[in-house]
């Protein structure tokens, strides 16, 4: 299971952003969030997520804004789940706490920790790959994001070009510069890696 412990960056300078974010996360991810999101202390909150793709999606959503330090803990969560994350326990919570402390010093404010020492090397590999993807996204321009946010599913470059008022060729160039295809290939691989990390010990 996946636990995210998230801490706001520079809350004294920017004001509290947690209250506005929590319902947004709950609405967007729905039942894929198993517990929370709950404010745990000050400008920090936690949530428990079941599917690996949702955990990764939330990480990408939060790190994109550069307003949050995100720690992702992977492992055991005590069952049955209580009413709030403040009442919950398990190794994944301890791992997420360690991860968010490291995330505050990381280039893209993200860190990953497993609850099993035997999985530390594999977790380090997954974190390194996630950092590469976060670096690609951090270098993306506003124009690149405009294309990246619209491409996907059945949306074509022609449709995106029409919406943005540019040529399909310009869409293609922006997509390439933004690493859109690279991200679309990397995401499933990262999800599979997280699923393996969350699997039972070998």
Count CA within 13 A, CB hemisphere, residue 1. Answer: 22
- Residue 190 domain flag: no
Per-residue pLDDT tens for 36-48? Answer: 999 998 899 999 9
Residues 6+ apart with CB under 8 A from 39: 18, 19, 22, 45
- β-partners of residue 113 are 73
Per-residue pLDDT tens for 164-182? Answer: 999 999 999 999 999 999 9
Report the chain's mean pLDDT, rounded to a whole number.
95
- Residue 32 domain flag: yes
pLDDT band at 201 (very low <50, low <70, confident <90, very high): low
Q: Which two tokens stand for residue 197?
A: 């990390």
Helix axes 180-197 and 52-65, enclosed angle (nearest 10): 130
Write the DSSP assignment of 29-44 as a string of letters: HGGGEEEEEEEEETTE
Any idea which of 1-15, 51-65, 66-80, 184-198 has the lowest mean pLDDT? 1-15
Q: Are 93 and 162 in the same domain? A: no
Q: Are 69 and 155 in the same domain? A: no
Closest CA to 75 of 2, 6, 125: 2
The Cβ of residue 189 has, within 10 Å, a number of other Cβ atoms equal to: 12
- Residue 124 domain flag: no
- Measured between alpha carbons, how far apart are the two ends of the chain, in Å? 16
CA pseudo-torsion sign 120, 126, 129, 130: negative
- Residue 184 domain flag: no
How many domains are contained in the chain? 2
Per-residue pLDDT tens for 12-57? Answer: 888 899 999 999 999 999 999 999 999 998 899 999 999 999 999 9
- Residue 129 domain flag: no
- Residue 91 domain flag: yes
CATH number of the domain that residue 77 is part of: 3.30.70.270
Helix (H, G, I), strand (E, B) or coil at 109: coil
Q: Are 31 and 103 in the same domain? A: yes
Q: Are 99 and 149 in the same domain? A: no
Closest CA to 96 of 82, 76, 118, 79: 76
| Residues spanned by the domain of 169 | 142-178
Residue 93: pLDDT over 70? yes
pLDDT band at 10 (very low <50, low <70, confident <90, very high): confident
């Amino acid at each position: 299971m996946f636990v995210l412990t998230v801490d706001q960056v520079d809350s004294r300078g920017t004001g509290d952003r947690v209250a506005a974010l929590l319902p947004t996360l709950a609405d967007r991810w729905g039942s894929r969030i198993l517990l929370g999101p709950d404010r745990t202390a000050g400008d920090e909150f936690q949530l428990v997520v079941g599917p690996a793709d949702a955990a990764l999606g939330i990480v990408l959503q939060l790190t994109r804004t550069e307003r949050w330090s995100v720690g992702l803990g992977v492992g055991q969560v005590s069952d049955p789940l209580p009413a709030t994350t403040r009442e919950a326990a398990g190794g994944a919570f301890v791992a997420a706490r360690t991860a968010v402390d490291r995330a505050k010093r990381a280039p893209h404010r993200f860190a990953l920790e497993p609850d099993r020492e035997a999985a530390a090397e594999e977790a380090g590999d997954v974190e390194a790959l996630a950092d590469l993807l976060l670096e690609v996204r951090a270098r993306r321009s506003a124009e690149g994001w405009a294309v990246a946010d619209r491409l996907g599913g059945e949306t074509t470059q022609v449709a995106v070009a029409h919406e943005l008022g540019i040529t399909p060729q310009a869409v293609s160039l922006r997509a390439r510069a933004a690493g859109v295809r690279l991200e679309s290939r990397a995401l499933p691989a990262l999800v599979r890696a997280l699923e393996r990390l969350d699997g039972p010990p070998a």
